[in-house]
Amino acid sequence: MFLTRVKELLNRSDKRDEKMYIIAGLGNPGKEYAHTRHNVGYDTIDILADRYSISVETDKFESYIGKGMIEGKKVILVKPLTYMNASGKAIAKITDYYKTDIVNRLIIIYDDIYLDTGRLRIRKKGSAGGHNGMKDIISYLHSDEFMRIRIGVGEKPKGYDLKDYVLSHFSKEERDRMDQALIDAANAVVEILKEGPDKAMNEYNRSERGEIS
């Protein structure tokens, strides 16, 4: 009875950690989807995990998750395993369990075909913009007020099927730009944790001419 009570208290304490950030990169599980346009969220999580020595291997909440510290902040890195269009189920499970303040402690990273390849956009809230994974998350959370980092993967060429396009790999020219964009996205996460989203938006929401957009 005593041990059961201790476990309950420990679990309750863990779940009520209001200072913990949930950082989720969207994508599809499986080797066949690795490093495709739709998996840039996964790739960004991998960069953060490697940089801060966080193992994202625990299979929980229908996701791979890993707990750690980034620049003195408690974080859980998340790679949902529910496939892109059902991302909301996994995100809702983890944010509900930890009773996350989604406005201030949830960051979603995902691909955007309406941004040029390698461009970033950081927002504190907003619509799904036609992205099915984000639509599902907004539906499950009953809110669109949470931080997100959109990574441009380029507009679908005429005549291409959208599904085939987002599941395709980058060309060599695009890959060079994307490698830098993924590093920038990881850096943007760190900037949000250290200085807040407004500072990160000012730093990374820039056009090629250096203008804020």
- Just list the catalytic residues: 38
Tokens of 207: 């056009």
For helices 172-195 and 40-51, the axis angle rounded to 10 degrees is 60
| First and final C-alpha spacing in the chain | 58
Q: What are the residues facing 69 on neighbouring strands?
A: 74
* Non-local CB neighbours of 114 within 8 Å, separated by 6+ positions: 129, 130, 152, 155
Q: What are the residues facing 187 on neighbouring strands?
A: none
